[in-house]
Amino acid sequence: MLTKKPLASLVALALAGLCTQAQATVKFGDTELTYGGYIKLDTMWTDTSDGQIATGVGRDFYVPGVTPVGGVGESATFDAHARQSRFFLKTATMLDNGKKINGTLEFDMMSTYPIGDERISNGYAPELRHAFLTYDNWLMGQTWSTFMDLASLPDSLDFIGNTDGAIFARQAQVRYTNGGWQVALENPETTVTPNNGGARIVTDDNSVPDVVVKYNHAASWGSVAVAVIARQLSIESAGIDDSTNGYAVSFSGKYNISATDDIRFTINSGEGLGRYIGLNTSNDAVLDAAGKLDAIKVTGYALAYKHAWADKWRSSLIYSAQHIDNDAQLTGLAVTDNTSSYAVNLIYQAASKLMFGVELRHATREILSGADGDLNRVQFTAKYDF
């Protein structure tokens, strides 16, 4: 038996951050299996003022922390990939106690190392995005961090769109939801800047989970979300053994101007926020000369306006930025001080399951010494939902 999912289910999946344009359900006994996904081609022409971005994810989508600073300018680069293409499976099973349990698995190829290379095969391994179950008011497994607000993400061709100021993380967690309230215990991790700067240290030494409390409110005019997070920042390596605390708050939402136009926004600030914002442009903490952790304060914000020109044509104007309060005496002058980006796109919805678009982006990264570098990118995308 093959049936189309009703609209309400599509909206629910959209709120879960999964691809929803097309999907179908097959029933096996007491279990319904829903499947879907999309195929997406991204082509990018990228010009950077102070050197070339190394081959990797920074060439495949916008990563604020890898915009070159202080290098020698090189020719622009052209890249094309289909790595963001994805597929998902959802299950819904009636249990013998009369309750329903739901499961979700979703994969893409976005951040994995190539199995082949760009000379011949361009092979990429599937990467786990979501793997979670829901039962009563509980969610258990890996999905978007509860600290993140999907409704505030812009309508962008880029992987994220408002990356500089956005909260963006997927991780294992246990979450309880009651009405608009959510409480979650999530997988911890700490990233550290060595004293006087240097390569990032990823410690994996936390002894307690990150704790998130969030309130969501939705109405006909849109939605808002307020979230707070408390974290342990910890390191135990090479004779260094210390921990400190991190705290942050997030306020975000979406305001519907009309049936087709909206404004989406987010503002996030706190100490030890590092890995949650801007794809970990800043680390969570820095080591002082005595081997003690000092949490780094980060503030990020973003604003996006979506406008429909006609039935099949729409655009978004996006601005995003983050500011990092580094102590130069601890971090040195080579760490990122701030990043920002502007983007504008034009999207043609050829059919309900077929989209084409072009997006222009200008971005800047400035380091603590005052030196900066710019990125200019033109991106073309074709996307088919199934």
pLDDT tens digits, 157-205:
999 999 999 999 999 999 999 999 999 999 999 999 999 999 999 999 9
Question: Amino acid identity of 187?
Answer: N
What is the pLDDT confidence band of residue 11, given thresholds at 50, 70 and 90?
very low
Tell me what pLDDT residue 73 has. Answer: 86
What are φ and ψ of residue 15, in 5° steps?
-65, -25
Q: Is 13 helix (H, G, I), strand (E, B) or coil?
A: helix
Tell me what pLDDT residue 121 has. Answer: 87
Lowest mean pLDDT among 66-75, 206-215, 267-276, 291-300: 66-75
Q: What is the mean pLDDT of the chain?
A: 93
pLDDT tens digits, 288-304:
999 999 999 999 999 99
pLDDT tens digits, 236-284:
998 999 999 999 999 999 999 999 999 999 999 999 999 999 999 999 9
Record the tokens describing residue 327, joined without a space: 């102590």
Query: What residues have CB less than 8 Å from 197, skipping those under 6 apart?
Result: 331, 332, 333, 334, 335
Tell me what pLDDT residue 8 has. Answer: 39
What is the pLDDT confidence band of residue 22, given thresholds at 50, 70 and 90?
low
pLDDT tens digits, 325-376:
999 999 999 999 999 999 999 999 999 999 999 999 999 999 999 999 999 9
Q: What's the burial of 187, exposed, middle or buried (CB within 10 Å: 0-12/13-18/19+)?
A: middle
- Percent of the chain scored above 70 by pLDDT? 94
Q: Using the CB atoms, write b or e for 206-215: b if 16+ within 10 Å.
A: beebbbbebe
